[in-house]
Structure 1
Amino acid sequence: MKKRHVISGLMFSAVGLAMLSGCSSSKADSDDKIVLRYAYASNSQPVIDSMNEFGRLVEEKTDGKVEIEYFPDGQLGGETELIELTQTGGIDFTKVSGSALESFSKDYAIFSVPYIFDNEAHFFEVLEDKTIMDDVYHSTEELGFVGVTYYDSGQRSFYMTDGPVNTPEDLKGKKIRVMQSETAIKMVELLGGSPVPMGSSEVYTSLQSNLINGAENNEFVLHTAGHGGVAKYYSYDEHTRVPDIVIMNDEVKERLSEEQYDAVLEAAKESTEFEKKVFKKAVEEEKATATKEYGVVYNDVDNAPFQKAVQPLHDQFKNDKEYSELYKKIRSVADEMK
């Protein structure tokens, strides 16, 4: 499949939006081909490969009648800007962290609750449960976009510049970068650290200049993002498993035939299965490379003290009338798996 990528100099601007509107095809314009626009921020290679696999599958399943055009590597902005572009129809698809969707739908905040998932198996069971996820995906429908599938983004743990984290005590007084998520901020506060919300592009220089003492993320920040060069201690407390979410402008359905729309949804789900396989393999490769190139040291953690420290967040979500039903559904899946 021919995947078209725009020039790297394209910026999020009026000119850029004009270019977007000019390069799109619609069902009304042409009976031969419909071009759907997919923009994304910087990502690890397995996620990029999976988004490209989605495009390949769409073209295959529609006999070339629908094509995905890519705007990669933050050319049109960061995750918030890309969500807004999807919302307004400036683009048709993007892939963002579930945390970035919190300000658009309260339902996505549940994924940032530390230890809401017991383990990886529990995470996958919930994300594959239509009775849970369909409501989450469609919680933004009135805003003009919906979720269509998820990608595994692994577990998130702390990594530091000045030594490993073994207990919450090791975070006392430490400045820790977090995503711009109220739940993540509260988590670090409960663990004794000082949360510093900032965009991902600022983390490396902030670690290097000692503006922050550490951060939390999956293993792909170590070599792919280069953070292992300044923060060599990665500690597996595994506090969260926040999925990536592929979202789609709601008007895409109007531009496609019923068969084409079903093919797009099917391709999205199949790209998820592809991503789960390549992601796991790539994590091990990332760890090995970070160790070899930067001397990153990994340590396992007894997460029981961490779970105890963040229990107030669980109580908050469990007892909040807006979140309690979704919280209990997710926890009941864990009970059923025992």
Structure 2
Amino acid sequence: MKKVMKLGLGVIFFSFLMGCSGDKGEVKSTTLKVAFNQSEAHPQYKALKEFGEKLDKETNGQYKLEISPNSLLGDQRASAELVQNGVIQMAVVGNPVVESFNKDFAVIGLPYIYDSIDHQKSVFLSGKLDDLFKSVGKNGFQVVGAYTAGARSVYTNKPIEKPEDLRGYKIRVMQSDTMKKMVDLMGGVGTPMAQGEVYTAIQQGVLEGGENNEVTYADLKHYEVSKYFSYTNHLMVPDLIIINDKIYTGMTKENKEIFDKLIRESVESEFEAWNENVLASKKLAEENGAKFIDISIEQFQENVKPLQEDVVNTSDVTKKIYQDIRDLTK
């Protein structure tokens, strides 16, 4: 009888110890590896880093972020495939990458669909794009938010104030048929080319100019070969934050709410950081002789309408998204 009592007490004591051990055990932590193609100085990197610190804190260490900048994990298309297959968990990719999975995404990257950076911000935070973002879940990932990459404008060796000023001017565009058509309609000659080749191409007369935002214009010192930056503001391509579908849907309700809340805060933070970087980039370029020219863009907007109509009329989904975006200007 005493042996039985001792055995019973032993089991109870062991169970008590195990319970205490469980209470004090380490929290299971999931590291979200993020592919990023820009440097640590980029506004999007800063926003991601802040997001990661908050996520770690608010989930009590259950989720941590590990960012790999400078395309260390491959280009954006390769990064999206790594997220899709679960090799890594997250990435920031340009809208055209996700467009290759669902053509409806083309509508949110149309020329002149956003009136300003503030308008774009209101769209990204409105919830109007939620259904579109969830639509790629069947591809193994979800879009959970969108960062701005600023407004793209034309820069050349002279001020560009109307479409006629671009006649015969070869302007570098991203390697996309849509982007080439856009610059052609704006009056120039869209010339697809890798970004790293642009400086030399302008210098040698292969190109007459490029089109990009102020940050890239200054970072790549294109002001040295194209002094005039004319505010055509023709394009604001979203950069999309994607996450592996299984990781996202596998979060507890509480952690998913925290994650979504912090992504929204990150988007707001990135817009603020972007605007600060634009001011600094303009100052640097102006100190090196660049001229920033404010122009009337109505004729450029009119010229690209055929391209807008082609994309908007792709489906009922794109028609609705376009109208939702334009309604947010009112």
Give the TM-score band, short-chain normalised.
0.7 to 0.9
Query: Cα gap change, 1:203/1:141 in structure 2, threshold over 3 Å: closer, same or farther?
Result: farther
SS at match of 2:315: coil
1:96 aligns with 2:93: yes
1:27 alignment partner in structure 2:
none
Which one has the largest radius of gyration? 2
User: What is the letter of the counterpart of residue 73 of structure 1?
Assistant: N
1:68 alignment partner in structure 2:
65
SS at match of 2:219: coil
User: What is the letter of the counterpart of residue 99 of structure 1?
Assistant: P
Kindly provide the CA deviation profile for residues 146-190 of structure 1, in whole angstroms up to 9, marking residues without a partner as x: 111111222111112x21211111211221111233332211111
- Give runs of aligned pairs for residues 297-308 of structure 1, distance below 5 A: 297-308=291-302
- Percent of residue pairs identical: 35
| 2:121–2:271 Cα contact (<8 Å) kept | no
* Aligned equivalent of 1:312, options 295, 306, 321: 306
- Give runs of aligned pairs for residues 1-338 of structure 1, distance below 5 A: 31-43=27-39, 45-130=42-127, 132-160=128-156, 162-253=157-248, 255-292=250-287, 294-321=288-315, 323-334=318-329, 337=330
Structure 1 runs (4+) deviating above 6 angstroms are none
CA distance in 2 between counterparts of 1:181 and 1:111 reads 16
Q: What TM-score, normalized by structure 1, do the two folds share?
A: 0.83
Pairwise CA RMSD: 2.0
How many residues align? The count is: 303
Unaligned stretches of 5+ in structure 2? 1-25
Unaligned stretches of 5+ in structure 1? 1-29
Q: What TM-score, normalized by structure 2, do the two folds share?
A: 0.85
CA distance in 1 between counterparts of 2:249 and 2:322 reads 34
CA distance in 2 between counterparts of 1:84 and 1:199 reads 21
Kindly provide the CA deviation profile for residues 70-101 of structure 1, in whole angstroms up to 9, marking residues without a partner as x: 21111111111111211111211111222332
CA distance in 2 between counterparts of 1:238 and 1:36 reads 35
| 1:150–1:245 Cα contact (<8 Å) kept | yes
SS at match of 1:135: helix
| 1:150–1:246 Cα contact (<8 Å) kept | yes
Residue 256 of structure 1, CA deviation: 3.6
Kindly provide the CA deviation profile for residues 19-42 of structure 1, in whole angstroms up to 9, marking residues without a partner as x: xxxxxxxxxxx8532111011102
Residue 59 of structure 1, CA deviation: 0.7
